[in-house]
Structure 1
Amino acid sequence: MMDLTAIRAATAGLSTGRVFLDSAGSSLPPRVVTDTVIDHLRREAEIGGYRAANERFDDLAAVKTSIATLIGATPDTIALSDSATRSWTDFAYSVPLRPGDRILISEADYASNAIAAMQRAAHTGAVVEHIPSDATGRIDTDAFAAMLDERVRLVSLQHAPTNGGLVNPVAEITRLAHEVGALVLLDACQSIGQLPIDVSALGVDALSATGRKWLRGPRGTGFLYLRGELARSMEPARLDLHSAQWVGPREYRLAEDASRFEFWECDVAARLGLGAAVDYLLALGPDQAYAAVAERARYLRATLPELPGLTVRDLGTEHSGIVSFTIEGHDPVQLRDHLAEHDVTVTVSHASSTLLDMTARGVAAVVRASPHYFISPDELDRFVAALGELVGRG
């Protein structure tokens, strides 16, 4: 069982008394993460960045080992990056495309992914098509299966969208896509650190993720997972002297594993901090952490609808730790600001982030609460009470 008192004591951001419900945005890191980052920056100031990085060579390699342990992969299939977006685009822009090829994106896809897919299609003659959702909001597997043919080259799949608690059926979609030879790129930006992820069980070809959300790592960190064969065979759209070696006047040789998707220059301190965050989760017990996030989200989904005019907007049959809602007659931004005045941090997800889904539902914006495992039951009640005060005032 998790020791909530110890976890909270190790989280500096909780000492302010503010109720923090924005781990889907950028979570509060445990102290070991900030100490790791700051200590390395100080070491760089003492001896220079090159020597400081050399001292931590083995520790940097261990970051990939920790990530691989978390997602059921091997270290050679992990490429470190500065964000989930960087990881997603690095893979998507490296998939060979020709005129007439098809890219399929889900209705819950994030704006960055959709924009990149459309640009890639415009430059190659490929087309972007939208996968329908079923009545629950999940990807409609029957409709998806009917869309598939040999021209589908890439399927962009959102594991858990940014604007609500939906969780998509990843393994089933991947199995269907592979029947026609399509590659599946899973955006795990909102699922890594709060939902179980086993890449072998999911079967995806690639997975992009961030460090700053549910993993509780530093901003400016992320990673890309590539299925073993792709990690050894796929050529990235961009290379440098780390991702490849210059072996002759007109010849280069790609790195032999997923590091071919990395560049030499990076934020060493932040990457060490990411490793510390993943190690913290592994030591805590991922299954316990996932269960605690789910419990807190379930409590809010059961409690919030008791407030007059409040509608929980989460779709799907399986849910993540994101709880989205609106209150009739109240602007979501004003709700966010009202809660901030009561020392409660939430955020707003606008239609521009998930255009297909929000437009289809006729929703311009939702308030998004995302309680992590470090949130106490009393804090959840404070959040509900602050909302109730606003509703009571009309």
Structure 2
Amino acid sequence: MRPNPCAPQDPAPATDTSFQLCSRLEHVTRPGRDTAPALGRTGVLNTPHGIIRTPAFIPVATKATVKTLTPEQVKSTGAQAILSNAYHLYLQPGPDIVDEAGGVAAFENWRGPTYTDSGGFQVMSLGVGFKKVLAMDTSGLNTSDIVAQQAKRMAVVDEDGVDFRSVIDGSKHRFTPEVSMQIQHQLGADIMFAFDELTTLVNTRVYQERSVERTHRWAERCLAEHDRLTQARPHRPLQSLWGVVQGAQYEDLRRQAARGLVALSEQAEQRGCRGFGGYGIGGALEKENLGTIVDWVSQELPEEKPRHLLGISEPDDLFTAIAAGADTFDCVAPTRLGRRGGVYTLDGRINLTGARFKRDFSPIDAEVGGYVCENYSRAYIHHLLKAKEFLAGTLCTLHNLHFMVGLVDRIRQAIDEGRFEEYRDQFLSRYYGAEWKDHIG
């Protein structure tokens, strides 16, 4: 077992966000393929509201709540932090109200670190991707299946920012990099992201080039406004701004985007201003290219800065992305799946609405354990789902977060103990069955 330089005691409370490297992978063997260098590591992310041991899965609390759960229930899963969305909290209840409450953590009674997304995801989800498929696989899809027509879009991008129509009442709103920073400073999360443009898998190469350049210019404006607001709000805890690397599936654009953000950060710090505290890896990408893209970006980013992969949570994707250098992750999939009766087990995913669970009085997965498995049967949850009782969503969501947070915790432990590949192969061979090697990117 390797010694862990970050054990046994936690760091002292931080006044600003910083990252401490604990251990690293030296290589990764991909069965049937090759042995590749690895950028995977474990660490400790220090924030003013507590620490995050990485790698870590961050549950999504879009509107200052993880749907169907109380903050105390979320904490019981082992979750170390949560992520909320600036666009949705801007619309309701309004960032001024959250600010008056003392920030998003105090507002929702979450006792721990918090993240906020900039609203950049809504640039695509309400714009070119509105009511369309935002997939990691474009096979069998036409461009019209992914890109919405201009007349149907609720978000329109220009050089200065984005015009939105509210998903609540259709009213018009304008986001710029400066507005996103102002909103996120009022929300008061420990970690926030620069305003970016998220593109689709089928945008042209020319558009992707323009988008990367635009996101770079927006990032520069975010840094300037972040520094101004930090000085103007000394009564609030320091917040860490992270740049977001775009570039779709093009290696040159991904590397260009990453190098450009690092340069912006260094230039800001040379002027005595605040630079990026870390970096997000965003954008639509095909599942089979996930590890390759994260690896490209990780090679370009400073080792001493943390990396957050936006919107990833499938078990095989987590192993792949962690090996490639990602430190933290967020995704709505475990909670959205749970509200529909889908749950994770060590033998794969199942859906408890199925008739075969009507008289199945066993727990979802006794080996996984946790509150739900220790107290409720598959048959009972099946009944709740069929009866459309809200408790069904609570129990399935609680289980899924316990599963996902615990999985990443065990990956972290495996890296520290020098047995990452052993644990990966053991877990995936059981979860996916005979074809598990096809899931290692």
Structure-1-length-normalised TM-score: 0.28
Instruction: Return the structure number with greater relative CO, CA threshold 8 A, min gap 6.
Output: 1
Structure-2-length-normalised TM-score: 0.26
